[in-house]
Amino acid sequence: MVPVRVTVMVGRKVMPVDDVRDASVKTALKQAAKDVGARLAAAKCPTHGKGPTDVRLHFDAGGNGDLKYESCCEELGKAVSKLV
């Protein structure tokens, strides 16, 4: 599984998921990160054989998720988009 760093917008403040006080929200966000990490573990660049690194998942105040990551090239981005 690929490690995924999760942040969430609470009011006007961005905070790490571990700082979220509501246990049910924290659990749901951590599960989303696990699911994304498990899917991204299968993503490999066909050219370089590398996977995504520095994976970040941010949820805005409306609950919309934004996935960002570092990749070796555009081909890895195509592989990732097929998995998520």
Average pLDDT on 47-61 reads 95
| 55 in Cβ contact with 69 (< 8 Å) | yes
**Is 0.95 topped by the overall pTM?**
no
pLDDT at 54: 97
Alpha carbons 30 and 14: distance in angstroms, whole number: 16
Average pLDDT on 2-12 reads 94
Show the domain range for 18: 4-83
**Total domains present in the chain:** 1
Query: How many CB atoms lie under 10 A from the CB of residue 18?
Result: 9
